[in-house]
Structure 1
């Protein structure tokens, strides 16, 4: 199989599947190294395919015009990450990303795509497993999330809960 054929198959797979595809699994399926898959993904992005690398694997976002998105600014300590994420998903919100404004690098974004309590638990387990530091440690706990929900009422409930827990940054 040529590299262009492999990329065509990967592109179709990412477009047609809802669940993230791990680079390691793609490499095994196509008999190449994971680094070859990373290169393939870079080429697909350069060709205009919107591919997001999440902790669970590669996905292409499926646009849902009926969803509401809101960007929120929050601040808290590292030990409150699980509680903050849980506040959002328990009402039906999805945390698409985490963004910080770094003084040297500018905007830094990590794609999360956390939709369920299971996703929160999985993220926290990996966080501990990798002994990772959150991006927000670079900004004293301040960070931004893009959240998505089915309607404004859900967004309002999420914001109310985050305010009550003193995570939301407001005037």
Structure 2
């Protein structure tokens, strides 16, 4: 299989999947190494394909042009992560990423794409298994999220509840 055909297959697999696909899984399906997949993903992104890497694998962002998007500043401790994420998704929102400002490295951003209780539970499982520290530990709990919602009413409900829980920083 030629490289261009392989990249087209990767793109189609990601577009047609409702779940993220790990690089190793793509590599096995296409008979190449994971490093070849990483390179192909980089080339697809350079072509303008909306492919993001999440802890669960690669995915193509779909139909997010019509969503209301806001970057919010929040502060809380590790014990409140699950409640914060569930607050956003219970109204139908999506938590796209988490961003912290590091004193040495500058902005550190991780795509998390939390859009369901299933996603929240998987994310929390990784934290609880000690697979790594959440980024907010680097900044005393202060971090940013890009959140999306279908309309202003949903966004307002999310922001109102985050404010009531004293997570939102103004």
Using the TM superposition, give the Cα deviation of residue 111 of structure 1 relative to its aligned residue in structure 2, in angstroms.
0.4
Using the TM superposition, give the Cα deviation of residue 107 of structure 1 relative to its aligned residue in structure 2, in angstroms.
1.6
Q: Judging changes above 3 Å, is the alpha-carbon distance between structure 1 residues 88 and 10 closer, same or farther for their aligned structure 2 residues? A: same
Q: TM-score, normalised by structure 1?
A: 0.91
Matched, 1:99 2:99: yes
Using the TM superposition, give the Cα deviation of residue 103 of structure 1 relative to its aligned residue in structure 2, in angstroms.
2.2
| 1:39-54 correspondence runs (5 A) | 39-54=39-54
Query: What SS class does the counterpart of residue 120 from structure 1 fall into?
Result: helix
Name which of structure 1's ranges 74-83 and 61-70 shifts more when overlaid on structure 2.
Answer: 61-70
| 1:105-116 correspondence runs (5 A) | 105-116=105-116
The residue aligned with 2:159 is: 159
Alpha-carbon separation, structure 2, partners of 1:15 and 1:145: 25
Name which of structure 1's ranges 14-23 and 37-46 shifts more when overlaid on structure 2.
Answer: 14-23
Using the TM superposition, give the Cα deviation of residue 46 of structure 1 relative to its aligned residue in structure 2, in angstroms.
2.7
Alpha-carbon separation, structure 1, partners of 2:108 and 2:8: 30
Query: For this pair of structures, how many residues does the alignment match?
Result: 170
Alpha-carbon separation, structure 2, partners of 1:5 and 1:131: 35
Backbone CA RMSD of aligned residues: 1.6
Q: TM-score, normalised by structure 2?
A: 0.91
Alpha-carbon separation, structure 1, partners of 2:27 and 2:129: 23
| 1:7-156 correspondence runs (5 A) | 7-156=7-156
Name which of structure 1's ranges 2-11 and 147-156 shifts more when overlaid on structure 2.
Answer: 2-11
List alignment gaps of at least 5 residues for structure 2.
Answer: none
Query: What SS class does the counterpart of residue 42 from structure 1 fall into?
Result: helix
Name which of structure 1's ranges 21-30 and 59-68 shifts more when overlaid on structure 2.
Answer: 59-68
Query: What SS class does the counterpart of residue 19 from structure 2 fall into?
Result: coil
Using the TM superposition, give the Cα deviation of residue 129 of structure 1 relative to its aligned residue in structure 2, in angstroms.
2.9
Query: What SS class does the counterpart of residue 62 from structure 1 fall into?
Result: coil
Deviations 1:58-86 (Å, cap 9, x if unpaired)?
11211334321111100011111111101
Using the TM superposition, give the Cα deviation of residue 157 of structure 1 relative to its aligned residue in structure 2, in angstroms.
1.2
Alpha-carbon separation, structure 2, partners of 1:159 and 1:99: 18
Q: Judging changes above 3 Å, is the alpha-carbon distance between structure 1 residues 65 and 50 closer, same or farther for their aligned structure 2 residues? A: closer
